[in-house]
Chain A
Amino acid sequence: DIDDVGRKYHLELVLEDVLDKDGTVNCTAEVLYHLGNKNIAPDVHFTTEGELKNTDEADNVFYNRIKSLEKELVAENIPDSHGNVPPEMEPIRLLAWAAAGYVIWQNSTENTKFQLAQIKHVKQVKRSDEYLEFDYTILLHEMVSQEIIPWQMTVLWHPQHGVQVTQDSPQPKHPSE
């Protein structure tokens, strides 16, 4: 506890590459949850030891595939009810996961635990510049309240420039659902 400021956690963790189980990287982090105003995201500082696998080739394959689509990509329910993800949608799902990480960080407090539950809808937005843009509607699952929260996020991605969430907002839930 830090008087008048908030609560700081010191973490030691191991990052594991989902796509390369042997690829692990040690990480230390400090997370500061602010006292009072719960609308500020926690401060995070971290250091990593070692390098994660290089994904340039897969990134470029995905990038070129999307860039060369004639019609904008549109998809729903990833994974579907049975947990299936068509192979060509896997990068779309991974991109959502990374972007959702940002949204979750921005909305986390000491009393929340969010997970990305599903991509309800994703629509590519064609751009004239080199970036790929996707408009996602995702469902976040909050563990403590058990609520499913629909959330919209606009995501930009480029193989060299990484992921950016340019815009995001929670969506209303239908009471009958």
Chain B
Amino acid sequence: LQLDFWLAPRSPGQPVDVRVPFPSLQPLKAHLEANGISYSIMIEDVQTLVDDEQMEMLRSRRWLPFSTTTFDYTSYHSLDEIYAFMDLLVAENPNLVSKLEIGQTTENRPIYVLKFSKGGTNRPAIWIDTGIHSREWVTQASGVWFAKKIVLDHENDEGLASILDKMDIFLEIVTNPDGFAFTQTKNRMWRKTRSKQSGSVCVGVDPNRNWDAGFGGSGASKNPCSETYHGPYANSEPEVKAIVDFVKNHGNIKAFISIHSYSQLLLYPYGYTRTPVPDQKELHEISEKAVAALSSLYGTKYKYGSIITTIYQASGGTIDWTYNQGIKYSFTFELRDTGRYGFLLPAKMIVPTAEETWLALKVIMEHARDHPY
């Protein structure tokens, strides 16, 4: 009958909600009546509701931002609004900021990276990405704030100015655009990419299990329906491949920071193995300083350590790959909070979160500046 239960059977006496395809209506009614099971119709025609919602969403499209000064950093924005913000930032600061397209997603959305540079050719660089897991909305929102912060402070803040004198900063704000669009329209809790998986009705690959570092090992799932599905092979996801190609072609990235939420953690490699990285001592010391700087602003408490000892085993992860490529200063953040709101962090916490995180990022960037390799 292809019944689609919206409230599944629990125990006798408890109601059940079911969506019934048109051809099954008569047989189902007959069956219920024959068995003395009472029913009532909650929605006559689900399709009309779906059509109405579609129309409503098209109608209520918000105004695109005017300038990065009037942009509202204290609220969450759509993909279109963030892409418009990027173009505005470039237009307002053409000598500092440029936009690069590094690839396209499965659903053919462009993947953009902002480059902040005061000149030079292929300077040593710092990479920051946010939004690789689409439901972690405070990260994309923080990425937008970081972009503006770099522009605001690049001359008057000594630390940032001296970083930009020697190094470039690359910032990928929406690392998983398909996933992000899906969280806005269909499922706020979507984490993965949106690629179709052959042989399965399930969609998407965990982009933080798809990198070529311990790929397919313990700490990722082989099941396409799982949230930690590693994908058919390493770099199968265009979102991941785009970054891999960029990093390899650039060849001079010295620090790589990938930002997630939630849990309030600062992590360094490895996630796929218990073997400590050779630079463990140095990375641990940097983390201690970065966390202290973060806490100094609002008292937010962070823990730090390697991925596998601090959070859980995870294979095919971003910073394990970048570290193995020779990018010594590879870190992952898990931003606010620790579970009270989780992924649904209230918008009023975006700016405080971004502000404190920025202090930690500066510690890492300054260390990279002062310790060339």
Are B201 and A176 in contact, CB atoms less than 8 angstroms apart? yes
**Is B347 a contact of A83 with CB atoms below 8 Å?**
yes
Report the minimal beta-carbon distance from B106 to chain A, rounded to whole angstroms: 16
User: A18–B349 Cα gap in the complex (Å)?
Assistant: 16
Q: Which residues of A contact B225 (CB under 8 A)?
A: 175
Instruction: Tell whether A175 pairs with B201 under 8 Å between CB atoms, given A82-B75, A115-B339, A147-B226.
Output: yes
- The size bracket of the interface on A is 20 to 34
**Residues 60-85 of chain B, each 1 if its beta carbon lies under 8 Å from chain A, else 0:** 00000000000000011000000000
Contact B342 A117 (CB under 8 A): yes
B residues near A81, Cβ cutoff 8 Å: 76, 137, 183-184, 188, 344
Residue of A nearest to B313 (CB): A144
Binds A, one of B5-13, B116-124, B164-172, B246-254: B5-13
Q: Is the interface of A mostly helix, strand, loop or mixed?
A: loop
Q: Please, how many angstroms separate the alpha-carbon atoms of A110 and B146 in the complex?
A: 38
B343 interface residue, CB < 8 Å from A? yes
Q: Can you list, as one digit per residue, whether each of A135-157 has a CB less than 8 Å from chain B (1) or not (0)?
A: 00101010111111000100000
B76 touches A82 (CB 8 A): yes
Per-position 1/0 for B178-207, Cβ under 8 A of A: 000001101111110000000001110010
What CA separation (Å) do A118 and B5 show in the bound complex?
20
Q: A82-B76, A147-B226, A175-B202 are in contact. Are A141 and B10 (CB under 8 A)?
A: no
Cβ distance A95 to chain B, nearest Cβ, rounded Å = 15
Q: A84-B347, A117-B344, A139-B189 given as contacts; is B226 within 8 A of A152 (CB)?
A: no
Minimum CB distance partner of B138 in chain A: A83
Known: A117-B189, A145-B228, A175-B225. A79 touches B344 (CB 8 A): yes
| CB-CB nearest in chain B for A139 | B189
Q: Which residue of A lies closest to B227 (CB)?
A: A146
A169 within 8 A of partner (CB): yes
List of A residues within 8 angstroms of B5 by Cβ:
172
In the bound complex, residues from chain B placing their C-beta under 8 Å from that of A80 are 344
Q: How far is the CA of A175 from the CA of B226 in the complex (A)?
A: 10
Tell me the dominant secondary structure on chain B's binding face: loop
Complex Cα–Cα for A141 and B346 (A): 17
Q: Does B151 contact A (CB under 8 A)?
A: no
Question: Do A115 and B342 have beta carbons less than 8 Å apart?
Answer: yes
Determine if B346 and A147 form an interchain contact, defined as CB atoms under 8 angstroms apart. Answer: no
Question: Least Cβ distance of B347 to chain A in Å?
Answer: 5
CA distance in complex: A82, B188 (Å): 10
What are the interface flags for A79-97 relative to B under an 8 Å C-beta threshold, 1 for contact and 0 otherwise? 1111111000000000000
A165 to chain B, nearest CB (A): 13
Known: A83-B349, A175-B225. A152 touches B344 (CB 8 A): no
Is A167 positioned at the interface, with any CB of B under 8 Å from its CB?
yes
Tell me which residues across on chain B come within 8 A of A175, comparing CB atoms. 201-202, 225
Q: Which of B7-40 contact A (CB under 8 A)?
A: 7-8, 10-11, 14
CA gap between A115 and B338 in the complex, in Å: 9
Q: Is the CB of B347 within 8 A of A18?
A: no
Beta-carbon contact of B186 and A177 below 8 Å: yes
Q: Are B346 and A82 in contact (CB under 8 A)?
A: yes
Tell me the bound Cα distance from A116 to B190 in angstroms. 16
Contact among A79, A85, A141, A146 with B228 in the assembled complex (CB-CB below 8 Å): A146
B312 touches A (CB below 8 Å): yes
Q: Does A171 contact B (CB under 8 A)?
A: yes
Q: Does the CB pair B203–A176 fall under 8 Å?
A: yes
Complex CA–CA separation, A82 to B201 (angstroms): 29
Collect the chain B residues with CB atoms within 8 Å of residue A118's CB: 188-189, 344
> Given the complex, which residues of A lie within 8 Å of B7, measured CB to CB?
137, 152, 171
Q: Which of B323-373 contact A (CB under 8 A)?
A: 339-347, 349
Which residues on the A side are within 8 Å of B191 (C-beta)?
A: 146
In the assembled complex, how far is the CB of residue B5 from the closest CB belonging to chain A, in whole angstroms?
7
- Beyond A118-B344, A172-B8, whether A177 also contacts B227 by CB under 8 A is no
**Could you show 17 A-B contacts with beta carbons less than 8 Å apart?**
A79-B344, A79-B346, A81-B188, A81-B344, A82-B347, A83-B344, A83-B346, A115-B339, A137-B7, A141-B342, A141-B343, A145-B228, A167-B10, A167-B14, A169-B10, A175-B202, A176-B203
Further contacts, 4 of them, CB under 8 A, given A81-B344, A83-B344, A115-B339: A81-B184, A141-B342, A146-B191, A169-B11
The 9 A-B residue pairs with the shortest CB-CB distance, nearest first, are A83-B346, A115-B339, A146-B227, A148-B189, A79-B344, A175-B201, A83-B344, A81-B188, A169-B10
